[in-house]
Structure 1
Amino acid sequence: MAGEYIQGRGAQKNIHNIFLKQQISKDFIEAIDDWEEDKPQTQHTVVYPKSIVNKVSSPDVGMAYSANPYQGCEHGCIYCYARNSHQYWGYSAGLDFETKIMVKANSVKLFANFISRPSWDGTPISFSGNTDCYQPLERSFKLTQGMLKVAEAHGQAVGLITKNSLILRDIDILQELTKRDLCLVYVSINSLTEETRQKMEPRTVTAKQRLKVIEELSKAGIPVGIMCAPVIPGLTDHEIPKVLKAVADAGAKYAGYTTVRLNGEIGKIFEDWLHQAYPDRANKIWHSIQSCHAGKVNNSEFGNRMRGSGELAQIIRDSFKLHCKRNKLNENPFAFDLTHFAKNKDKQLKLFEN
């Protein structure tokens, strides 16, 4: 593949937005028109959406509702399924996804309004159902922190998933939620190899730091699990045993996994990255992914798309189950206590009666 590898970024280029009729291309190397910089800088735009909580219709992602205060993600994970959604905003699923971030400035107010509705019953809401709620911009905007404070005040159950150690900033709020069984945290970690992490998830914290996050949350009494996701056959699948042992030793009690699937434009982005990041084994990895999805790299079939099918997918599944058992993960399922939301709502209603 032509072009110099862009350090610190996942996607190596922008690809055409399928919703736009026109596209820009560089046909001549001598062209003097504006073009992508060699090292694109992160930009953010403040937006004011009309809603922040979304109902999740997919039956196999483990959440009923999600809330995402940011659109796009600077972490730049090459495999991220959320890349496709960036096209709805007029951007590319490639470099744009990780360099042009939208900050939903009214997230806290929208979240409070949503869970204050008379019809809302306190069903758990997942933060980071699409993009990481603790990505770098959260340090400045504190939208996730604000939403957590609202959840704590209302007795609203929340689940969180992140790759960023910034979550430790809010450990006091998470502890208050935990006292009422209203909080479950998942840390995403699929490799302990730093070289792999730097290429695959360029602006995330190291695996060592993520293990520290698990340890600190566990010591604070906060229930924590991990998502070994996505498992990339031919690249990270061999690390399943040592990942599960490391997270269990750090204090994790739960674990889940998915097998990578490259739906929509992600397949093009991932394939381009693969040939630049791992030119010596790109084809082997690509064919391994295909073997898990009946000869394709994508799968939209509910019940099958997150795990894959075929011999290699079964090997991954068996390895994961075996090492979860060996490390005593998932022995006691976590259950949210939604009665706190109901009690809190009764108190709110009485305020209007006075």
Structure 2
Amino acid sequence: MSKANSYLNGRGAQGNVSNKFDAFTHEFRSDFLNYCAMEDEEPQNTKTVLIDTFPKTIVNKVNSPDVGMGYSLNPYQGCEHGCVYCYARNSHEYWGYSAGLDFEQKILIKKNSVELLEKKLQSKRWQATPIVLSGNTDCYQPIEKKLEITRNLLKIFLKYKHPVGIITKNSLIIRDLDILIELAKDNLVQVHLSITSLNEETRRLLEPRTATVKKRLDTLEKLSAAGVPVSVMMAPIIPGINSHEILPLVKTIAEAGALGVGYTMVRLNGAIGGIFTSWIQKAMPDRAEKVLNQIAECHGGNLNDSVFGRRMKGSGNIAEQVSQQFKIAKKKYLSGRISPTLNCELHAEFKQGQMRLF
């Protein structure tokens, strides 16, 4: 295999795909790729680029009826974690970039996130309802370690006693344990930690720049021990890759203190179908066709199903088997565990950042 056609380590997508909104498409010609191989050069720059943006709003209403959240907040657009299956890749096309490599190497930083959130929570028209960090892209991706935007957002949620949910794959969340503990005292926070596999090699291929499996399990233990309500999302389930891990994974997270577990079936919507297909043909060539065929079996013969209520869990025999395994796993390992309901009652008294006295 030539250097130009070899597996691109450290990234999920193995190249850029055309943006559906662009009038022109770009492709690497074979003569250029051969030249790069002979000269021992990379055909494309894969370094991460940070781009500052200043949006007018930061809290987004979620209209999809089957995502389990009403509002989301994403301080970053694009995600360096590089999860090859990520549904959020398609959103990068609206910014003029590719859903492929661009999504994980061109990261948009919403510099005024904290100010916009504070303004939103101070609004007399805003009624407290949970806002989820990372409804689209991970709020604890690598650049957060330096910028601390998510940490400062959590300080605002605490200041105004407003409920917040967090979805992440990154152990960096432990840095903010001090704030999370304070939020948890008033039932103002829930954490949903994404753990897709117990196999480190699978994790490395599927999610190249995320925390290791061990670090995520350690994170789960630390959050639970500190009294922060934490559940696990085993998402997505990919037949032929991690679908055999359901019972052992639920057993492991239960032992680490998880209060619950959820899942979604992989669906390769939009540009992600081509990105995933290209990836698996390089990363797992021996089982690529089998996995793709089993994914299609879960979605009526296609790699994606966009029908609300069916798209997240899939349909058919494989999807039903997965559903039954989760029912068994929850009953066996998580019976009686309940995540506390987020508290929406305190915020009205803290509209100005302190309790209203008169």
Q: Does 1:118 align with 2:124?
A: yes
Structure 2 residue matching 1:283: 3-state secondary structure:
helix
**CA distance in 1: counterparts of 2:216 and 2:93, whole angstroms:** 30
Q: Summarize the alignment of residues 131-280 of structure 1 with structure 2, pairs less than 5 Å apart.
A: 131-280=137-286
CA gap 1:50/1:29 in 2 versus in 1, 3 angstroms:
same
1:93 aligns with one of 87, 93, 99: 99
AA partner of residue 23 (structure 1): T
- 8 Å contact kept, 1:263–1:298: yes
Q: Does 1:29 align with 2:26?
A: no
> In the comparison of the two structures, how many residue pairs are matched?
351
2:113 aligns with one of 107, 111, 122: 107
AA partner of residue 181 (structure 1): N
**CA distance in 2: counterparts of 1:342 and 1:201, whole angstroms:** 40
**CA distance in 2: counterparts of 1:4 and 1:347, whole angstroms:** 54
**CA distance in 2: counterparts of 1:37 and 1:207, whole angstroms:** 32
The CA deviation string for residues 102-149 of structure 1, in whole angstroms up to 9 with x for no partner, is: 110100001111111111111000000000000000011111011100
**CA distance in 1: counterparts of 2:274 and 2:10, whole angstroms:** 19
1:64 aligns with one of 48, 51, 70: 70
The answer for the alignment partner of 2:14 in structure 1 is 12
Structure 2 residue matching 1:210: 3-state secondary structure:
helix
The answer for the alignment partner of 1:45 in structure 2 is 51
**CA distance in 2: counterparts of 1:292 and 1:272, whole angstroms:** 20
**CA distance in 2: counterparts of 1:23 and 1:193, whole angstroms:** 37
**CA distance in 2: counterparts of 1:178 and 1:333, whole angstroms:** 12
TM-score, normalised with respect to structure 1: 0.95
The answer for the alignment partner of 1:3 in structure 2 is 5
AA partner of residue 7 (structure 1): N
**CA distance in 2: counterparts of 1:192 and 1:73, whole angstroms:** 22
CA RMSD of aligned residues (A): 1.9
- 8 Å contact kept, 1:190–1:239: no
Matched-pair identity in %: 50
Shift in Å at residue 342 of structure 1?
2.1
Structure 2 residue matching 1:29: 3-state secondary structure:
helix
Unaligned segments of structure 2, at least 5 residues: none
The CA deviation string for residues 197-223 of structure 1, in whole angstroms up to 9 with x for no partner, is: 111000001111100000000010000
The CA deviation string for residues 255-287 of structure 1, in whole angstroms up to 9 with x for no partner, is: 110000010000000000010000000000000
Shift in Å at residue 350 of structure 1?
5.0
- 8 Å contact kept, 2:114–2:156: yes
Shifted more, 322-331 versus 42-51: the winner is 322-331
Unaligned segments of structure 1, at least 5 residues: none
1:325 aligns with one of 326, 331, 338: 331
1:345 aligns with one of 344, 351, 354: 351
CA gap 1:239/1:116 in 2 versus in 1, 3 angstroms:
same
AA partner of residue 288 (structure 2): A
Shifted more, 235-244 versus 333-342: the winner is 333-342
- 8 Å contact kept, 1:151–1:158: yes
- 8 Å contact kept, 2:80–2:107: yes
AA partner of residue 222 (structure 2): E
Shift in Å at residue 337 of structure 1?
1.4
TM-score, normalised with respect to structure 2: 0.94
